[in-house]
């Protein structure tokens, strides 16, 4: 869509003229493949824990970042789904992604990490319940994004920090990017809502396209906000 609709879609064209987009479709390819072939609900990487327990595989990649690693909302057991690893950046996927952002992305303005599920728009911090110094601006940008999503598909997302709306979690990419100084950082829990009768992780395929449409609307809204506030 970004290539095909450039020059045809005014919102898309304006955004691509202003920003360089870096899209990483899958941060955890080995874990994703394992979830398709073996364990549908697998969430960790597939690294072998040689120094701790050879019987339990993988690390929670989104608790393996270096900022405030291992402080809150993690588990020291390699058998846990929220095992943070033996040390920060123990996973090559995360070490590589950190190096990419460090050396290849100049002056990043917006960082969004997509997850499922819950229909939540989450800002830092994860490791603490305290708000960031620029929380109000992050909230305003997120509210504009949430309105754009609702206008696009009629679906509502709730905004709050990771620790407020979900649970404490340290070593996340969201907290790392905040510490680095990126102005607008969000973890987005996509469809469906977290209810007793929702599809949860088994979202039917016909929801994929509208979920993408509403997320794209959110990105355009955040871009417009960043241009206006940061004077880009």
Instruction: Please say if 144 is a catalytic residue.
Output: no
Range of the domain at 64: 10-230
pTM: 0.95
Q: CA–CA separation, 20 vs 23, rounded Å?
A: 10
Question: Residue 47 falls within a domain, yes or no?
Answer: yes
**What is the count of structural domains for the chain?**
1
Q: What is the pLDDT of residues 45-68, one digit of tens each?
A: 999 987 666 678 999 999 999 999
What CATH number corresponds to the domain at position 30? 3.40.630.10
pLDDT: which is higher, 2 or 53: 2
**What residues have CB less than 8 Å from 224, skipping those under 6 apart?**
144
Question: Domain for residue 112, yes or no?
Answer: yes
- pLDDT tens digits along 185-215: 999 999 999 998 999 999 999 999 999 999 9
pLDDT over 80 at 173, yes or no: yes
CB 82 within 8 A of CB 171: no
- pLDDT tens for each residue of 11-42: 999 999 999 999 999 999 999 999 999 999 99
Residue among 33, 104, 144, 189 flagged as catalytic = 189
Residue-level pLDDT at 3: 84
Q: What is the mean pLDDT of residues 86-105?
A: 97
């Amino acid at each position: 869509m970004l290539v095909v609709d450039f020059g045809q879609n005014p919102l898309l064209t304006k955004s691509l003229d202003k920003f360089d987009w870096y899209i990483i479709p899958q941060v955890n390819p080995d874990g994703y493949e394992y979830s398709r072939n073996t364990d549908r609900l697998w969430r960790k990487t597939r690294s072998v824990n040689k120094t701790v327990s050879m019987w339990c595989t993988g690390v929670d990649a989104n608790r393996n970042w270096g900022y405030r690693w291992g402080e809150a909302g993690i588990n020291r057991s390699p058998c846990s789904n929220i095992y943070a690893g033996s040390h920060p950046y123990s996973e090559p996927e995360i070490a590589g992604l950190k190096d990419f952002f460090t050396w290849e992305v100049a002056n990043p303005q917006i960082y969004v990490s997509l997850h499922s599920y819950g229909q939540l728009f989450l800002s830092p911090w994860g490791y603490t319940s305290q708000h960031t110094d620029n929380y109000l601006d992050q909230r305003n940008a997120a509210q504009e994004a949430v309105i754009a999503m609702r206008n696009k598909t009629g679906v509502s997302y709730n905004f709050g920090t990771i620790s407020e709306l979900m649970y404490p979690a340290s070593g996340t990419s969201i907290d790392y990017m905040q510490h680095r100084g990126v102005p607008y950082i969000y973890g987005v829990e996509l469809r469906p809502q977290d209810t007793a009768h929702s599809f949860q992780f088994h979202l039917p395929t016909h929801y994929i396209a509208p979920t993408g449409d509403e997320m794209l609307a959110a990105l355009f809204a955040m871009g417009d906000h960043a241009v206006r506030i940061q004077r880009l």
